[in-house]
Structure 1
Amino acid sequence: NIQAVLDLEKIVIGGGISAQPIVTGEIRKQYLAIRTNFPFMANTLTEVEIDSCRFLNDANLLGALYQLLLHDK
C-alpha cells in the first residue's frame, strides 16, 4: 500500500530486526512472491530494492540522538 502512495525506489529495514540477514531476505522473497502471484501488482507498481540500512541495530539510537540534538537547539 505504501509503495502505491509514495512511488518508492528503495525500502531499507532498520532496528534490531535488520541485524539478522534472514529477515531482510525473507521480506524480499515475500515481496517478489506477491509480484509473481498477482500480475496486477507487477504491472502497476515499479519493483523496489529491499535492503538493510547501513546502521542496522543502531539506526533507532541515531534517530533518537538526532531528535535530542534538534530539541536542544
Structure 2
Amino acid sequence: QYKDGKPDGAYYYYWQSNGRKWIEGNFKNGKKVGIWIFYNKDGTVSSRHTIKDDNRAEQLIRALISPPLTTPNP
C-alpha cells in the first residue's frame, strides 16, 4: 500500500518460477524498516536482516537478489 505516494506497510515479492514468497519486509514513509526476510525457492528462510538505515538496506537487498536474477534455472 502507499501513503502520500510512498510505500508504507508490508511488502512481499514472490519467486516467478513457483509463486512462493521470496522477500518480505516493511516500509514506513517510503523507507525500508524492521526485519526483512529472504527465502529460498523451496520456502526455507535464506536470511533475516534488521534494517535500521535505508541506504544500507538498499545495498544489502541488491546484493541478496542479484544472484537469483542473474543465475539461470537448471
Compute the TM-score of the two structures, normalised by the length of structure 2.
Answer: 0.31
Relative to its length, the structure with more helix (as a share) is 1
Relative to its length, the structure with more strand (as a share) is 2
Compute the TM-score of the two structures, normalised by the length of structure 1.
Answer: 0.31
